[in-house]
Amino acid sequence: MIKSVKDLKVYQMAYQLAMEIFEITKKFPKEETYSLTDQMRRSSRSVAINIREGYAKKKCEQVFIRHLNDSLGSSEETRGWLDFAKDCMYITKDEHKKLDDGYDEVNTMLYRLMNNWKNYSDIRLLSSVI
């Protein structure tokens, strides 16, 4: 049963990925502190936070879906920053693949939730979808 946003698998995964980004960016060069490091941390956190904010406003379907769409955009932004981090050799190909695959899975869950939201009359049913 979904009692809070923390019970949503998509939120849990987005939060965990943001924490992994935080840890991995600790080893980035100092000259990237206010550019790539900051951008990656901000966009990755935005994925989870937009899910959370949308969930808080779930009674208004359009607002909820707008926040999920913003979360999707932040996920894709993070994936772009991951590409830069890999190509600048700040992360390995394996680290990149693991994180990129994670965001791909989050995106799939977000798309599913946005496209099927009208089919869920009870928030408890969400646990089977996301």
Residue 73: CB atoms within 10 A of its CB come to 15
Average pLDDT over residues 98-124: 83
Greater confidence (28 vs 7) lies with 28
SS3 content of the chain, % helix, strand, coil (to 5): 80, 0, 20
Cα 95 to Cα 2, 21, 32, 74, 91: the distances in Å are: 32, 10, 18, 19, 6
Residue 129 has pLDDT above 80, yes or no: no
If you average pLDDT over every residue of the chain, what do you get?
Answer: 91
Residue 128 has pLDDT above 80, yes or no: no
Domains for the chain: give ranges and CATH numbers: 5-128 (1.20.1440.60)
Please state, in angstroms and rounded to a whole number, the distance separating the CA atoms of residues 111 and 117: 10
| pLDDT confidence of residue 38 | 97
Please state, in angstroms and rounded to a whole number, the distance separating the CA atoms of residues 11 and 106: 9
* Six-digit token string for 51: 């899910």
Residue 3 has pLDDT above 70, yes or no: yes
pTM of the model: 0.89
Residues in the chain: 130
Strands (DSSP E) contained in 1-130 are: none
pLDDT in tens, 68-95: 999 999 999 999 999 999 999 999 999 9
Within 8 A by CB and 6+ apart from 111, the residues are 72
Residue 25: CB atoms within 10 A of its CB come to 21
